[in-house]
Structures are given as structure tokens and as C-alpha cells.
Structure 1
């Protein structure tokens, strides 16, 4: 995963406090996802959002009767997901650790320039504090 997680504050909460970070680390891998209606999807995970909605490419959907349907692109809502199969070749702890530490590498922001109003308020505050010491 080469990009930092971007989303709403609610999505960031889910990312850092649930196993969403593990599922998000599956982007770019071929995995199997079991759905609540006893069907499953095998395919290449293109994207996972902050609510665990998943987009697949080159996916195969298999219904409970065993019929297979091929899709170039397929979107699955999180509420329909029962189970995400993590490949055996992936170390779960290392994957989570790598995903979370990568998200903390942010660009260094330069200190923001204070507005004239903020500078004036700070100056008045400092004068008030100085007069209290006298």
C-alpha cells in the first residue's frame, strides 16, 4: 500500500480501531470474500473504503447453487460481507503493523502564519499578563 489513508473522521476511526486496516492492506491482492447470503466472490481487490465497501476487478461471483458469473468490475457493500479470507502467505500482525505505521508518515507541514487578528489578540493577552505581574 503506497498511499496514506484518507477519509472522514468516522472512517479514520474505523481504520485505526478495527481490522479495517487489515482488509485495506488486501488491495492489490486476489482474495475470496464470503457473503451473508452464502455466496462468495473471488477476485482482485481494487479498492476498500473506510466503511469496508470493496471493489473488485476480474471477479468471479459464485451463488449458493454453484453457478459462477464473471465480472470485469464488481462492488460489494460492507453490510453484505460475512468473512474475508486472508491469504496464508501474509503475516497478519506484520501486515497490520505495516499498514498502520505507513499511515503515520505524513508530510511535514510548515507552521501556519498567524492572522493579524490572532497576532493582535496575542499581543493584548501578553500585555494583560505583564500588567498582572506589576
Structure 2
């Protein structure tokens, strides 16, 4: 597993910056701020959402495709990450919450109480999961 700084651990644990980390090894399409896109397999992602892709294809504004062996996308250039269709977003987030990717480890060896930030982050993750499941139900009803 990667070594994250304390700030990166916080971002991965408490925000949706966990997606690039969870999508490592999967092919993705990333839309960039300058209306271009990059498709490739995420090799390395950090807590700030900076991604390194292998076997990448850069798609410019005119639709031209330019292959790269390695391509790095800075966090501030990312507009949207398309989650692959073969992955279930709701299930992936639930598994991440259960295995602790989205939970911060307590520093207190006795266990101690969770902080307000930890409770709020968990509540927000649950709300996100609920919105995803509602959206799934709507799409099933439309079909």
C-alpha cells in the first residue's frame, strides 16, 4: 500500500478523493478543465487526486488522439473522472468504508471517541451512497 502524508490520508478518508486511489489498475476516462480528455489505466494516484496513467490516449478538443506510454494528470486539471461501467459505484464505496479506506485510524490506543469531523465525514459518505442508490432506482424505473 502507498505511503500517504497526513494531509493525503485526511483527504482520502474524508472526501471523494478516494476514487482515484480505488480505481488504481482500472481503465478510466478523465475529462480535463481545458475541454480535453485522457483515457488510460491509473497506475499511481495520491490523496490530492494527482494521477499517473499508463497506456494513455490524450484526446484533444478536435477529437484527435495522441498515444502516450505514461501520462500524468495534475489534480487541478481534473474536471471529471468517469467510473468504469463494470464497477458498481455504490458497492465500491461501501466496501471502501468497511475496509477502512474512508475511515481514519484512531491515534488513541484505547479506542476513544470519534471526533466531530469523523462523524460528519461518515455521515456525508452515507448520504452520497444513498443518493447513488436513489439514482440507480430511478434509472431502473425509466428502463
Aligned length: 102
Provide the TM-score with structure 1 as the length reference: 0.70
Distance in structure 1 (CA, Å) of the matches to 2:89 and 2:64: 32
Q: Retained in 2: the 8 A contact 1:6–1:12?
A: no
What stretches of structure 1 of length at least 5 have no aligned partner?
A: 105-110, 112-134
Question: In structure 1, which of residues 48, 54, 58 is the aligned counterpart of residue 45 of structure 2?
Answer: 48
Match of 1:108 in 2: none
Question: In structure 2, which of residues 36, 58, 61 is the aligned counterpart of residue 64 of structure 1?
Answer: 61
Distance in structure 1 (CA, Å) of the matches to 2:41 and 2:8: 23
Q: Please state whether the residue corresponding to 2:76 is helix, strand or coil.
A: helix
Distance in structure 2 (CA, Å) of the matches to 1:52 and 1:17: 13
Matched, 1:17 2:14: yes
Q: Please state whether the residue corresponding to 2:23 is helix, strand or coil.
A: coil
Larger Rg: 1
Match of 2:81 in 1: 84
Matched, 1:6 2:3: yes
Distance in structure 2 (CA, Å) of the matches to 1:55 and 1:23: 10
Q: Please state whether the residue corresponding to 2:55 is helix, strand or coil.
A: strand
Shift of 1:101: 3.3
Q: Please state whether the residue corresponding to 1:34 is helix, strand or coil.
A: strand
Query: Which runs of 4 or more aligned residues in structure 1 lie more than 6 Å from their structure 2 counterparts after TM superposition?
Result: none
Shift of 1:103: 4.0
What stretches of structure 2 of length at least 5 have no aligned partner?
A: 102-108, 110-143
Provide the TM-score with structure 2 as the length reference: 0.66
